[in-house]
C-alpha cells in the first residue's frame, strides 16, 4: 500500500462573510479529523466518506451560533451502513461513528453514498445550546448524500436558506488525501438567489475541484466559492479535531448506574469490566478491585439514605 500524500494544510475552520452577496460562510479542512475517524473505527473507504461528510457537516453546523453549542447529527437510512452519528461542539471537537464500519461499496468520482446510506430514512438534528435549551429537528432524507440532507434540514427545519457541501478525497488505496466542507447561509434579509447560485456551484463540483487542486486551506475554500466577490474573514481560524469526551472517570460513572446485582455478578466472574466507547472506539477496562470499591460505595450510600 502506498502512503497518502501528506497534506500540509492544517485542520482549521474559518468563518467569513461575503458582503456583496449578503452571505455568511463557514469553511473547514478536516483531513486529519477524517483520518483519525478512519483509524479509530477501521472504516472501509465507503464508510470513511460517509463518516467524513457527517463529521464535517457537524463541525460546520456547530459554528453558526455563539457559545457552548453542541450539535448531534443522526442519519438513519435504510442502506447497509446503518445509523451514522456525528457529535460536534463550538470548540471544534467532533466525534462520531457508523453502525456498520466494514461495509464496502463502489464510489464514483463524486462519491455517491445513496446506495450505502439509503434513500429512505430520516435525519435527526439536536442542537444543545446549554442552559437546558434544546432544539430538535427532523427531516426525511432527500438524497442520502448526507451533506445534501443536512442542507435540506437547514432549509426546511431551521428555515435558513443554506448551501452545504462536504467532501472526502481518497487515494487508490482508500487513504484520505484531503477532506473539507463549506456551509453558506443567507444573512438575515439576504437574497435567496445568492444561495441558489452557491448551491448550483457546489452541486456542480466546486468544492471537489478546489480540494483536487492541491493543498488548499479553509480560507481558500471560503474564498473559492465566489472568486469574483471577496470575502471578509471573521475572527481567528479555529482548529478542529476528532476528540471524544470519554474518560476513565466517565466510564466509572456509567458503571455506577448498574444495579447492585449486576455489579455482584461481574465481581463474581472475577474479570475486569470491559467497556468500549461507541463514539471513538476507545477500549476501557475496570479491574475487579475497583468494581468491588464501587460496590461497597453503593452499600454505604444505601445505608446512609
Ligand atoms: Zn470515546
Per-residue confidence (pLDDT) for residue 252, from 0 to 100: 87
Mean pLDDT of the 191-218 span: 92
User: Helix (H, G, I), strand (E, B), or coil: what is residue 255?
Assistant: helix
Chain-centre distance for alpha carbon 288? 35
How close is the Cα of 95 to the center of ligand 1, in Å? 8
Which tens digit of pLDDT belongs to each residue from 88-104? 999 999 999 999 999 99
Which tens digit of pLDDT belongs to each residue from 228-249? 778 999 989 999 999 999 999 9
Per-residue confidence (pLDDT) for residue 114, from 0 to 100: 87
How close is the Cα of 96 to the center of ligand 1, in Å? 9
Per-residue confidence (pLDDT) for residue 258, from 0 to 100: 86
Which tens digit of pLDDT belongs to each residue from 10-51? 999 999 999 988 999 999 999 999 999 999 999 999 999 999
Per-residue burial over 135-158, b if 16 or more Cβ lie within 10 Å, else e, is eeeebebbebbbbbbbbbbbbeee
Per-residue HEC secondary structure of 96-117 comes to EEECCCCCCCCCCCCCCCHHHH
User: DSSP for 125-177?
Assistant: EEEE-STT-EEEEEEE-SSSSSHHHHHHHHHHTS---EEEEEEEEE-TTS-EE
Q: What is the rounded CA–CA span in Å between residue 99 and residue 72?
A: 15
How close is the Cα of 241 to the center of ligand 1, in Å? 13
Residue 7 DSSP symbol: P
pLDDT surpasses 90 at 188: no
Which tens digit of pLDDT belongs to each residue from 116-159? 999 899 999 999 887 777 889 999 999 999 999 999 999 999 99
With beta carbons less than 8 A apart as the criterion, state whether 10 and 219 touch. no
How close is the Cα of 246 to the center of ligand 1, in Å? 4
How much of the chain exceeds pLDDT 90, in percent? Answer: 68
Amino acid at each position: 500500500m502506498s502512503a497518502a500524500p501528506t497534506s500540509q494544510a492544517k485542520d482549521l475552520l474559518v468563518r467569513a462573510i461575503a458582503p456583496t452577496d449578503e452571505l455568511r460562510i463557514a469553511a473547514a479542512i478536516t483531513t486529519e479529523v477524517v483520518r483519525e475517524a478512519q483509524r479509530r473505527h477501521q472504516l472501509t473507504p465507503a464508510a470513511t466518506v460517509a463518516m467524513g461528510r457527517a463529521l464535517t457537516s457537524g463541525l460546520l453546523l456547530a459554528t453558526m451560533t455563539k457559545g457552548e453549542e453542541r450539535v448531534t447529527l443522526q442519519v438513519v437510512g435504510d442502506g447497509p451502513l446503518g445509523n451514522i452519528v456525528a457529535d460536534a461542539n463550538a470548540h471544534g471537537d467532533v466525534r462520531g461513528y457508523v453502525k456498520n464500519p466494514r461495509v464496502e461499496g463502489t464510489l464514483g468520482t463524486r462519491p455517491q453514498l445513496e446506495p450505502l446510506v439509503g434513500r429512505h430514512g430520516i435525519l435527526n438534528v439536536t442542537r444543545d445550546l446549554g442552559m437546558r435549551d434544546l432544539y430538535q429537528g427532523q427531516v426525511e432524507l432527500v438524497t442520502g448524500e448526507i451533506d445534501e440532507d443536512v442542507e435540506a434540514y437547514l432549509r426546511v427545519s431551521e428555515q435558513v436558506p443554506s448551501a452545504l457541501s462536504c467532501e472526502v478525497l481518497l487515494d487508490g488505496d482508500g487513504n484520505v488525501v484531503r477532506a473539507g466542507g463549506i456551509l453558506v447561509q443567507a444573512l438575515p434579509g439576504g437574497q435567496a438567489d445568492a444561495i441558489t447560485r452557491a448551491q448550483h456551484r457546489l452541486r456542480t463540483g466546486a468544492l471537489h475541484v478546489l480540494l483536487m487542486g492541491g493543498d488548499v486551506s479553509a480560507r481558500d475554500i471560503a474564498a473559492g466559492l465566489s472568486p469574483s466577490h471577496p470575502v471578509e474573514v471573521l475572527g481567528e481560524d479555529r482548529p478542529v479535531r476528532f476528540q471524544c469526551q470519554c474518560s476513565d472517570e466517565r466510564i466509572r460513572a456509567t458503571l455506577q448506574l448498574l444495579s447492585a446485582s449486576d455489579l455482584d455478578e461481574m465481581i463474581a466472574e472475577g474479570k475486569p469490566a470491559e467497556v468500549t466507547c461507541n463514539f471513538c472506539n476507545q477500549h476501557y477496562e475496570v479491574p475487579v478491585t475497583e468494581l468491588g470499591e464501587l460496590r461497597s460505595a453503593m452499600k454505604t450510600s444505601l445505608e446512609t439514605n
